Structure 1
């Protein structure tokens, strides 16, 4: 579902490009909800200090763009209007009502979103054989969808990720989370952590293993990762986004209670400086927030030196499979500290 409340975006203008982008990010059968101008303008037009004609024209443009995208208006009550994206595109071009549908985009990866221009073409849904079939595969209701193999994995659209690999990932992260809570009790303290960030989420296994805890996880798929798994994360009912850790993250400072980094520094070893990534981690981590880093022991020793420089209280511990594994773990806590008085005065 995508929701817009009084966001005042010109949805009907510029060939409907903003609604076309909403269409791209909605899954088949997903919903778009609009409240605020121009919805229910008949009641509010005086308070909005706009004319009836202007607001009616704006709503008409929105309705026309929605129809051109083959969306169905499922509700319009009071200040809310709700549209639904079709579950497939089988009838989109053949139905006379949709003759003004924008052209389908050329064949490309519809999940590409990092530094991509939005386009005035419709992202084509996967082919289906019947009107009732959900393009790309049906998704179970929550919480079953969290544990089912995502349709993107079942269809083989994520290179190198099979249903067997997905099931192995589930088992792996249940084991790792259990180890985290045993070695470092911070994850086991109710209420200590609410906002978590997984810097390299893969299939969302870290977040899925914590689903019964009173917290939420922002799952990051690095732009530089070998495979793009963000769609599978959303199909599991989790939330996430893309990010290049060579750049600043678009978030408030001191936002997260815990940051988890699995092999992040291996991914970026020859792409940008370790110190820059750790400074960004420090910026978005609250005081007394926690860090868990998994990586090769040689990298982790360098990471430990930087953690000490950031005044993190840190320790390196063995892998859950024992000391003979080269991958190690670093647990850290960001400490409260203040600048010396002479620096403050300067």
Structure 2
């Protein structure tokens, strides 16, 4: 009976007492501390930058790995131990580790013919669309049933690209195995084959003495050297020598060209380490906000500026900053000298130039100079006079569109995008920008004016401090970040204000800042006002770039951004499952 009574205690008797609870807690704590001491002691993220900012994505991921590993691996994974290894390891010795890992979706390699696959600019699919105005070369993404579920392979013989600045002048032939431009542009000094390499002499159709000398000529006409010009757009960029030679002058050029069936202009640009994206002036707006660029450039880019009621020049006007410059070289400029070489009549070329001059005048642009093969126009700093001129010049009218920054499949319109209101003829509409590099950290005018709803100066300043601290932490745990020739082309998938790129501005690399079209997609204009570059992007679709073009991809809060949006549909989230 006595034993039976002990087996059936009352509920009150079974309830633990306070001393018992304290004893259990002390024993658990002692066991935990002993385990931590045994496996290397306590660690903490570097405190550079100080303050109570939240830990960086890298520190969060690292802390999680420490918390979840077994005792046999904790000493390897901890933050304060050996440097984290971000290199790929695919040796046979890894088989056991792979087998022990949790089951995950495995993707096979795509057939070799897809080594340069660009989902939304697929050459075969594009033929279904109208050829008028090159609409077939715009973005046309695959339907759900057409999407590839395989890994794009590298071409045979692919090698790690040369680091910048060597990459400006040389690239491996196997990485972009296309000889067409070496034949077509042989006499124009664009690109040559030299054994297993391509060499880029820096020449161009309209700059036979090299891009450097050509830029020097432009610099005699507009201020390229005082920091007032930082962002540039190169339309129909060729192999992007103009943008490549501007980088050393602290001018960041966004180059674009359409996806050709064989020429691979943008692929060459990115292989050289120059910012570029696949794009074309056709029917949709270029995927940049209004007032983005300090100058735009066309060197024999073959864009018919005078056609379609000047629609393409009107689009350039939308994305040019108040007081920005448009540079044109090649046909029809200096037609009296080049008409025979261009195999066009003098009358035809003269008519084309007069038509371009007329469109520029209707946009209230001022022609600054025409010297030799180069002509330059300047956009007004405000629209006070231009609006008054509409009483006489009826076309094009001012747009009534409420969102001049909208540029994701939005159609171009034959109307002038109005600048923000100005009260004085000398005032710069929307606010004057600081010169580079001061504009990188200065409060962007769009935020200072309160034109971005819900964004304050305090938010911007805190974001700048936070990313300076986070990037410092990245460098402390990713040893490759400290190597000057390791990373050149970087991509930020959710750039917000461009804080990640701003924190890296002093390093020999550039960042393509992508602002997702879901959420607060109004911040791309802020990024450009900081002297950085970027693009809109819906990450449920393919990006307008080639495979293997970025050295490092940075993603902060991308999945959560989409998960909380209406864009989170089965066709989108399938790509995140693994």
Q: Same fold (TM over 0.5)?
A: yes
DSSP-derived class of the 1:27 partner = strand
Q: Distance in 2 between matches of 1:106 and 1:143?
A: 35
DSSP-derived class of the 1:31 partner = strand
1:114-153 matched pairs, under 5 angstroms? 114-153=408-447
Distance 1:92-1:55 versus aligned 2 partners, 3 A rule: same
TM-score, normalisation: structure 1 = 0.78
Q: Distance in 2 between matches of 1:119 and 1:48?
A: 31
Q: Which residue of the other structure, out of 357, 360, 367, is the alignment partner of 1:73?
A: 367
For residues 292-316 of structure 1, give each alpha carbon's deviation from its aligned partner in whole angstroms, at most 9, with x where no partner exists. xxxxxxxxxx7xxx3xxxxxxxxxx
Cα offset, 1:117, TM superposition: 0.5
Which sits farther off after the overlay, 251-260 or 177-186? 177-186
DSSP-derived class of the 2:352 partner = helix
Whether 1:255 aligns to 2:549 is: yes
Which residue in the other structure is 1:16 paired with?
310
TM-score, normalisation: structure 2 = 0.47
CA contact 2:489–2:549 (8 Å) conserved in 1: yes
Q: Which residue of the other structure, out of 86, 103, 113, is the alignment partner of 2:407?
A: 113
Cα offset, 1:273, TM superposition: 4.1
Cα offset, 1:19, TM superposition: 0.3
Q: Distance in 1 between matches of 2:339 and 2:526?
A: 43
Q: Distance in 2 between matches of 1:96 and 1:218?
A: 38
CA contact 2:390–2:397 (8 Å) conserved in 1: no
Whether 1:3 aligns to 2:284 is: no
In terms of fraction of residues, the more strand-rich structure is 1
Q: Distance in 2 between matches of 1:101 and 1:221?
A: 33
Cα offset, 1:98, TM superposition: 6.4
CA contact 1:24–1:123 (8 Å) conserved in 2: yes
Q: Which residue of the other structure, out of 456, 459, 476, is the alignment partner of 1:182?
A: 476
For residues 163-217 of structure 1, give each alpha carbon's deviation from its aligned partner in whole angstroms, at most 9, with x where no partner exists. 1111001100011001111122221222100000000000000000001111000
Which sits farther off after the overlay, 182-191 or 13-22? 182-191
Which residue in the other structure is 2:351 paired with?
57
Cα offset, 1:9, TM superposition: 1.1
The answer to which structure, 1 or 2, has the higher relative contact order (CA under 8 A, 6+ apart) is 2
Cα offset, 1:150, TM superposition: 0.5
DSSP-derived class of the 2:321 partner = coil
Cα offset, 1:46, TM superposition: 0.4
Cα offset, 1:101, TM superposition: 4.3
Structure 1 segments unaligned to the other structure (5+ residues): 278-301, 307-346
Cα offset, 1:8, TM superposition: 1.3
Structure 2 segments unaligned to the other structure (5+ residues): 1-294
DSSP-derived class of the 1:248 partner = coil
CA contact 2:515–2:524 (8 Å) conserved in 1: yes
Which residue in the other structure is 1:231 paired with?
525
DSSP-derived class of the 1:47 partner = helix
CA contact 1:70–1:101 (8 Å) conserved in 2: no
CA contact 2:329–2:373 (8 Å) conserved in 1: yes
Q: Distance in 1 between matches of 2:499 and 2:556?
A: 11
DSSP-derived class of the 1:21 partner = helix
Cα offset, 1:107, TM superposition: 3.9
For residues 115-141 of structure 1, give each alpha carbon's deviation from its aligned partner in whole angstroms, at most 9, with x where no partner exists. 100000000111000000000000011
Q: Distance in 1 between matches of 2:368 and 2:480?
A: 46
Which residue in the other structure is 1:166 paired with?
460
Equivalent pairs counted in the alignment come to 279
Q: Which residue of the other structure, out of 351, 368, 379, is the alignment partner of 1:85?
A: 379
Q: Distance in 2 between matches of 1:159 and 1:267?
A: 18
Q: Which residue of the other structure, out of 482, 487, 505, is the alignment partner of 1:211?
A: 505
Cα offset, 1:96, TM superposition: 8.4
DSSP-derived class of the 1:130 partner = coil
Cα offset, 1:95, TM superposition: 4.3
Whether 1:104 aligns to 2:395 is: no
Q: Distance in 2 between matches of 1:259 and 1:159?
A: 29
Q: Distance in 1 between matches of 2:327 and 2:575?
A: 39
In terms of fraction of residues, the more helix-rich structure is 2
Cα offset, 1:255, TM superposition: 0.1
